[in-house]
Structure 1
């Protein structure tokens, strides 16, 4: 915090300068790139908030579904956040968080398209238009099921990180999720798990090899 005689600009001036640089950057002014990079280096929270395409996709679906109704948009946003919290385990890895983000986005997409289909039917759209909406809903549902399947498979293959509670710490114990490794995961998911295991904080004493086929 700037103080009188410290030689530092007041926080209000710094905030105004940052907002000015960001406004020019959003407008495509390349001359502010050096300042923009310096601001982002000093404020990583800005990158975390605006740098996630998954969050941008989520915001786009919420804006599309809610329109100008701020009450609906805020409700959708809170619902998405609650869904994210329900699906994310304590100490989740980056891969798991990415899979959860995909599920949340698919939920929003499916909900919006299902509502659009119902609205179209209520307005008496033609058979061709009704078929169009039905195909969109069906495709969105397949995407949602695929996202959920990937998340469930990952969570079964990778145990949750041990969380130390005050009681467990006092007793010298840790709460751990049971190892329910499955051998029927797809090669892509097994590869994802193997790569993530190198950076995951969970230590496993042994891991049963995944058998692709007989012989």
Structure 2
């Protein structure tokens, strides 16, 4: 099998980028069209400085370029150039705020495992569309195994969570079953 060739004009590619980190090499699938039907692979070399920048931005996405450059040991211009490169190739896909859901009145946080009816064409797409348009979804992930989705949801009270589980999900014609897990606390990470 031939070695993957880099794609020309990577900066102009506006469709999705998926990445998987493998040691110091990042293998990136770059999709050339919105239908995501044709893709090529390219290897992107990340050095130790790139990984230090990524690590610092994971901890604080609002850090100034001056502070970031000092933290990683680069000049501000070199650091800015590297951040821009990481953004252009899709390694950095965006910046976001970490929200305290409790302060917004969402006292219930839960994971819901969803299993779809197996022989219903389009079921996955219909449920994915449902999840994209619900304000209580914080993360929805397609998974392998016996189940189809893992969903992180929030709700103000248990009664609201019950409505989500019973009226929105369990009642959906494409969903075969659900299983829920109420979160006690978040030990690692900042998802919710």
Q: Same fold (TM over 0.5)?
A: no
TM-score under structure 1 normalisation?
Answer: 0.23
Greater share of residues in helix: 1
Q: Max radius of gyration: which structure?
A: 1
Higher relative contact order (CA 8 A, sep 6+): 2
TM-score under structure 2 normalisation?
Answer: 0.25
